[in-house]
Chains A and B, each alone.
Chain A
């Protein structure tokens, strides 16, 4: 098992609400990436945080936002939830070394939007 943890494990929200998901990265890692995995599909890159700043973003609207804290933990915030936001949200931590780094995933938060 990796040292990456996420909370909560499951969450049920209604359309229009807001949600905050949390991720604690593996000890020694300084980069956190967030992915959305819809049922039966591969994970889709949302964004990445390094040194508390977003430094890369996938094809997700601005209502998906995030934060990284000085201890490298991270939050994913989603506003104005839509039914299609129902998915497994995964964070992955890595150590930026200047070359392609390995990403280690947390167990995910399963979000259901009703």
Chain B
């Protein structure tokens, strides 16, 4: 069935270090991979996304890479800051029935220590 695995579940880094979160998806027909940041008690906010015809995308300190052959995609945050502390979710959108649904990973709790 459709599944997205996300690792690690928790990640603790020092301010200024890089953070990497990895996801694996099961449905090879998936072609859209967004990343959401969710702060405590708040809505998931889209921070970056990538489509299957692109291998890498960057937006300032955030980058996402996609390996369709291996069905892996990763989020890279450089020069981390305390305000990056949140739960990050990866998601994949399988094509089924002609509609778009997001299959989420279980989340990574990132803590950035000053």
Are B100 and A48 in touch, CB under 8 angstroms? yes
Are B99 and A48 in touch, CB under 8 angstroms? yes
Residues 40-57 of A at the B interface (beta carbon under 8 Å): 40-45, 48, 50, 55-56
Are A56 and B104 in touch, CB under 8 angstroms? no
A74 vs B36: C-alpha distance when bound (angstroms) = 23
Are B42 and A107 in touch, CB under 8 angstroms? yes
Are B45 and A100 in touch, CB under 8 angstroms? no
A105 within 8 A of B: yes
A69 vs B109: C-alpha distance when bound (angstroms) = 37
Contact partner of A55 (CB less than 8 A), chosen from B49, B97, B107, is B97
Interface size on B, residues (CB 8 A): 28
A73: B residues at CB distance < 8 A: none
Q: Mark B31-56, 1 if CB is under 8 A from A, else 0.
A: 11010100000111110010100000
Q: Which residue of A lies closest to B97 (CB)?
A: A56
Residues 20-72 of A at the B interface (beta carbon under 8 Å): 31, 33, 35, 40-45, 48, 50, 55-56, 58
A40: B residues at CB distance < 8 A: 107
Q: Smallest distance from the beta carbon of B21 to chain A beta carbons, Å?
A: 13
Q: Smallest distance from the beta carbon of A39 to chain B beta carbons, Å?
A: 11
B20 within 8 A of A: no
B104: A residues at CB distance < 8 A: 42-44
Are A105 and B101 in touch, CB under 8 angstroms? no
Given A102-B46, A105-B43; A50-B89 close (CB under 8 Å): no
Chain A contact residues, CB within 8 Å of chain B: 2, 4, 31, 33, 35, 40-45, 48, 50, 55-56, 58, 90, 92, 94, 100-108
